[in-house]
Amino acid sequence: MNGKRGLISAGASIVNRNKRYIVWFYVFNLLFGWLGAMGLGRRVSPILNHSLHADKLLHGFDLAVLYEMMSRPEFGSRHSATGLGLVFAVLFFVLSLLFMPGVLLGYSSDHRISRDEFFRACGHNFWRFFRLFTFFLIIGGIVAGILFGIEGALAKAAEESSYELLPFITRMIGIAIIFVVLTTIRIWFDLAQTDVVLRDQVATRKSIAGGYRMARRNLGRVLGSYILIAVMADSVLALGIVLWNMIVPPASVLGAFLVSQATLLVFLAMRFWQRATAVSFYLHRAAEPLEAQPAALAVPGAIA
Amino acid sequence: MSPRNVAIICVLAFLASLPAAAEPSNTAGLSIPNTNSAINSATPLSQRVVHYEIEARYDPRTHSLDASETLTYHNLTGQPLDSFPFHLYLNGFQPTSTWVREGKREGTRGQDFEKWDPKSYGSDEIKSFEVVGQGDLTSQLRYIQPDDDNKDDKTVVQVNLPKAIPRDGYVQFRIKFHDQFPKTLERTGWDREALLAGQWFPKVGVWWHGAWNCHQFHAYTEFFADFGVYDVKITVPKYETVGASGVELSNVENPDGTKTVAYHGDDIHDFAWTASPHYREFHDVFQGSMGPVEIRFLMQPAHLGQLERHKYVTQETMRRFDQWYGPYPYKTLTVVDPEPESESFGMEYPTFITAGTGWFMPKGFLSPEEVVEHEFGHQYWYGMVATNEFEDAWMDEGINQYTEAKILDSIYGRATSFVNLWGITAGEDETDHFFYSVAGDLDPMTRNGWQFANSESYGTITYGKTAVVLLTLESIIGEDTMRQAMHTYFLRHRFTHPTKEDFLKTIEEVSGKDLRWYFNQAVYGTPVLDYQVYKVSSVPVEWYKEKLEEKKGVTEYVNSVWIQRKEDFVMPVEVQIKFDNGEKVREHWDGQDRWIRYEYRKKAKVESVEIDPDHKILLDRNEFNNSYMPEEKHAATHKLMNYYAFLSQLCAQFLSWWLV
């Protein structure tokens, strides 16, 4: 495996071999999305379903009519109408935390792991992943807090400039730097998660330390892959929204559903691609030490 | 010859006549400037009560100025006057003022005071006050509070004269004052290196309806002043670009690194100016029915890409005002694009308006156009038809909001005159309707501006409800008649201070209709208009038969439709019933009772019922219950659910992307 391109293509190969994980995650994502939307549906259907005025939302998207609908007393509070979606978003996160160990196990294996192996890995590693998540939250939170604080202060200072674009440019540069830094931390913890699953590591702090060392020594390669994939993901998202706007007639609910869901499916796949890239990198780096300690690996036929 | 050159020559030709016009006359020892002829027309357009001559020197380092003002007041009140109140608006920017108190309680823009920022401090301090022929009366000045009991409010000062000014007599005040400008809060002040100076000089009140009308500065009211002539000289560092009300007479550089710019304005009732080293200056000419008008745009460097948008909307707006309501008689218009994020955006002064935009402004988001149109509209509804903005805010802001909807709808399309971006739309009418529907029943439109329940009610009623009331009025008297009424109102009351009844009676007169039933509810009252389709049923005539098979076009039904007037506002409405065989029936209901039922025996079922099918009655607060389809249609709901699901899924993916 040579360079960034090799890492990305190795990751793509792993994702391609294990498409079922993306499909299942997507199914949950869709299910939760629509369960969340049902709360909104219950609020708006009494207002819209019998009214001709709803045509202004169907055959176009009249912003004033939308706000007017949301200000109707029967719509209720906006928070309660839309809060359900947030609950399901959190639920999807919990589900991802629960099932990611199985995904990593599957990605590291050269054969299709059994359902039993998948769920055993999930259950076995859930609390370890929760601990890793907690560490990530602490480290990421502190770093993000400091960086956003600096970025905010710089942007505010830039507002005093007579060059009007300066605050925006400052903010964009700041966000780009924060993105790179947080992606680095994400790589660190992605490698730590992989280490926990593949080594069956009880002491998560050892995986955190190992992930840190691995990320630090090879940051350029992995970071480049991650950022490239993230840029592709953002491009897919932007393209999907543009297509949705350009080719789908305003009244075509089915068309909008298909384009939007296709976009979300591809967007989701991008994150799995990053994970597969990290697993591929981890296996490659771990190969030599593993020759000395083969028993430490918990993956059946992990290294080809 | 370019239109711009024609305009310049015309202005210069008028200016050439000024020295003769400015020759002073002497009345009772006073040097009274002769202001009978002027720039805008051969004869005065207004009853010129005041003549301000101000020389001001601005120091951008301290955001302050020192000035001397000579005010010549012509007593046309029909009675002797021995006291004069003056507005000192800048004193509103002090922590104990009524403006700040009300702002803290009900804040609108720039008034969300969490804590007092010393930069917000502003003041208008009178250093000396002399009445020519009566001596120095500085020590006689007394702050008064005609609207509340806030003794700390210093926004109105009064002087009692030892000798009364006789009817048709003149009095001359010589005032030296010092202004400290605040960092812009609302409308006036400095931002970075720029200054927008509005309400910056001691301004005499208006003798109106037999008394002085000189209100304190309130959090969400505006202004009121007499027409007259302004001759203002402003001295600033020479690197500043200056713009102001009126016509620039001269621009002279001084040896001390400053320059003095002289302006003259006549038949105007206020004077504002701006100075900034950042402005980029552009010119355009509007060919109006009273000759060319030179338009000067002072743009921010980052907004130059939007210059054509500003020019286009200014031209199109001026053209429609000229054709629909009457001529713009002034020779100049200055459009100022203020500092980014400044609270001085979107404000009107005679022949001088501030726009409002940002460096990123997609073409489909017509906010800059809306601001320019709105502020230019104020040249008519405030500038020339100079209503009392303290007491009748709806007559300037509301009527202007109405004409804004008419003009922007005409330029950009009714459904897309505010937003037309990526399939998302919003029209001015609908936006006004939404604005009104939020809280449109707390106060009548005619309430004194500072006495509204809160700032939301003030904004909703003054802007949104007034526009909706006048748009709905078109459904009663017709769009063309309404335009004719507005035209008549403008021509009849320009350069005066009309009252609400002047406006309402003009509409009644032009339309030939008694509209008191409407005005009493909509203008003077707070009743809410809300009609709904209460119930719809289609029952087979032979419902009692066992095993009745309903067949479209064969089975006969008794169709019943109930219409309900839910609230107190009574208004005749049209109702359209559509049957599933394509037939349509229109009914007219006077709305006097609480409900009405219509019955139809047909071989068809009701497909839909719609109140106000032509969508003329925007005053109906809830448009969703104005129609009813017995058969549910879920498409709109599903569309919204799909949007929401997409956002929700995306949010979930982002959360998982970063945290797992």
The DSSP code for B217 is P
B640 vs A41: CB contact, 8 Å cut-off? yes
Q: Are B576 and B584 in contact (CB under 8 A)?
A: yes
DSSP assignments along B157-197, one per residue: EEEEEEEEEPTT-EEEEEEEEEEEPPBPSSS-EEETTEEEE
DSSP assignments along B358-389, one per residue: -S---TTB-HHHHHHHHHHHTIIIIIIB---T
B646 vs A264: CB contact, 8 Å cut-off? yes
Residue B18 has a pLDDT of 44
**Average pLDDT of the residues in B592-607:** 97
pLDDT of residue B110 exceeding 50: yes
Domain range for residue A136? 3-296
Residue B108 has a pLDDT of 66
How far apart are the C-alpha atoms of B232 and B268, rounded to whole Å? 13
Nearest-Cα distance to chain B for A218, in Å, is 21
Residue B19 has a pLDDT of 39
Residue A292 has a pLDDT of 41
A55 vs B437: CB contact, 8 Å cut-off? no
A36 vs B634: CB contact, 8 Å cut-off? no
| Nearest neighbour of A61 by CB, restricted to B423, B629, B632 | B423
- pLDDT tens-digit map of B389-408: 999 999 999 999 999 999 99
Task: Decide the pairing of beta strands B50-59 and B228-237.
Answer: parallel
DSSP assignments along B42-86, one per residue: SS-SS---EEEEEEEEEETTTTEEEEEEEEEEE--SSS-EEEEEE
Whether chain A has a CB inside 8 Å of the CB on B116: the answer is no
Residues in chain A with CB shorter than 8 Å from the CB of B649 are: 29-30, 32-33, 264
Please report whether residue A197 resides in a domain: yes
Nearest-Cα distance to chain A for B226, in Å, is 37
Residues in chain B with CB shorter than 8 Å from the CB of A159 are: 341
A256 vs B639: CB contact, 8 Å cut-off? yes
| Nearest neighbour of B627 by CB, restricted to A52, A60, A159 | A52
Per-domain boundaries in chain B: 281-526, 531-629
pLDDT-based confidence at B311, cuts 50/70/90? Answer: very high
- pLDDT tens-digit map of B509-568: 999 999 999 999 999 999 999 999 999 999 999 999 988 899 999 999 999 999 999 999
pLDDT-based confidence at B104, cuts 50/70/90? Answer: confident
A62 vs B426: CB contact, 8 Å cut-off? yes
A71 vs B423: CB contact, 8 Å cut-off? no
Q: What percent of chain B has pLDDT over 70?
A: 94
Nearest-Cα distance to chain B for A5, in Å, is 22
Residues in chain B with CB shorter than 8 Å from the CB of A100 are: 660
Task: Calculate the alpha carbon distances from B335 to B5, B365, B519 in Å.
Answer: 19, 20, 36
The b/e string for A229-240 (b: 16+ C-beta within 10 A; e otherwise) is: bbeebeebbeeb
Residue A79 has a pLDDT of 75
The DSSP code for B460 is I
Q: Is the ipTM of this complex over 0.95?
A: no
How far apart are the C-alpha atoms of A11 and B642, rounded to whole Å? 32
* Half-sphere exposure (Cβ direction) of B646: Cα atoms closer than 13 Å: 20
Of B43 and A5, the one with more pLDDT: B43
B419 vs A36: CB contact, 8 Å cut-off? no
Residue A280 has a pLDDT of 94
Token pair belonging to B160: 């009692």
Whether chain A has a CB inside 8 Å of the CB on B191: the answer is no
Nearest-Cα distance to chain B for A132, in Å, is 9
Residue B443 has a pLDDT of 95
Nearest to B217 by CA among B126, B106, B91: B91
Please report whether residue A40 resides in a domain: yes
* Predicted model pTM: 0.90
How far apart are the C-alpha atoms of B208 and B151, rounded to whole Å? 25
pLDDT per residue rounded down to tens, chain A (304 residues): 445 558 999 999 999 999 999 999 999 999 999 999 998 999 999 999 999 999 999 999 999 999 999 988 888 887 777 788 889 999 999 999 999 999 999 999 988 999 999 999 999 999 999 999 999 999 999 999 999 999 999 999 998 888 999 999 999 999 999 999 999 999 999 999 999 999 998 999 999 999 999 999 888 889 999 999 999 999 999 999 999 999 999 999 999 999 999 999 999 999 999 999 999 999 988 765 444 444 444 444 443 3
Q: Phi/psi zone of residue B340: left (φ > 0), alpha (ψ -120 to 50 degrees), beta? A: beta
Residue B36 has a pLDDT of 65
* Half-sphere exposure (Cβ direction) of A133: Cα atoms closer than 13 Å: 19
Nearest-Cα distance to chain A for B199, in Å, is 25
Please report whether residue A121 resides in a domain: yes
Cα dihedral B625/B628/B631/B632 (nearest 10): -20
Q: In chain B, positions 394-433, which contact chain A (CB-CB < 8 Å)?
A: 415, 418-419, 422-427, 430-431, 433
Cα three-residue angle B234-B235-B240, rounded to 5 degrees = 100
Q: Phi/psi zone of residue B203: left (φ > 0), alpha (ψ -120 to 50 degrees), beta? A: beta
A57 vs B652: CB contact, 8 Å cut-off? no
Q: Which of B119, B621, B639 to mutate to test the interface with A (most CBs of A within 10 A)?
A: B639
Task: Calculate the alpha carbon distances from A194 to A3, A183, A199, A209, A269 in Å.
Answer: 20, 16, 8, 13, 18
| CATH class in words for B531-629 | mainly beta
Residue with tokens 């609108």: B108
Q: Phi/psi zone of residue B291: left (φ > 0), alpha (ψ -120 to 50 degrees), beta? A: left
Nearest to A179 by CA among A235, A216, A231, A139: A231
Taking the alpha carbons of A114, A119, A124, A129 in that order, is the dihedral positive or negative?
positive
pLDDT-based confidence at B20, cuts 50/70/90? Answer: very low
Map residue A111 onto helix, strand or coil: coil
Residues in chain A with CB shorter than 8 Å from the CB of B430 are: 56, 62, 64-65, 68
Task: Decide the pairing of beta strands B291-299 and B280-288.
Answer: antiparallel
Q: Which of A93, A196, A197, A259 to mutate to test the interface with B (most CBs of B within 10 A)?
A: A93
The DSSP code for B329 is -
| Nearest neighbour of A49 by CB, restricted to B437, B632, B647 | B632
Please report whether residue A301 resides in a domain: no
Residue B509 has a pLDDT of 98
Nearest-Cα distance to chain A for B643, in Å, is 9
Q: Does domain B281-526 have CATH number 3.40.50.620?
A: no
B625 vs A51: CB contact, 8 Å cut-off? yes
Nearest-Cα distance to chain A for B645, in Å, is 5
Please report whether residue A131 resides in a domain: yes
**The total number of structural domains that make up chain A:** 1
| Nearest neighbour of B642 by CB, restricted to A82, A86, A260 | A260
Residue B109 has a pLDDT of 61
User: Chain B residue closest to A101 (CA)?
Assistant: B660
The DSSP code for B451 is G
A37 vs B644: CB contact, 8 Å cut-off? yes
pLDDT of residue B474 exceeding 60: yes
The count of other CB atoms within 10 Å of the CB of residue B151 is 10
Residue B186 has a pLDDT of 81
Nearest to B216 by CA among B86, B120, B394, B124: B86
B232 Cβ contact partners less than 8 Å away, ≥ 6 residues apart: B52, B53, B54, B55, B56, B244, B246, B262, B263, B264, B265, B271, B273
Map residue B589 onto helix, strand or coil: strand
- pLDDT tens-digit map of B238-249: 999 999 999 999
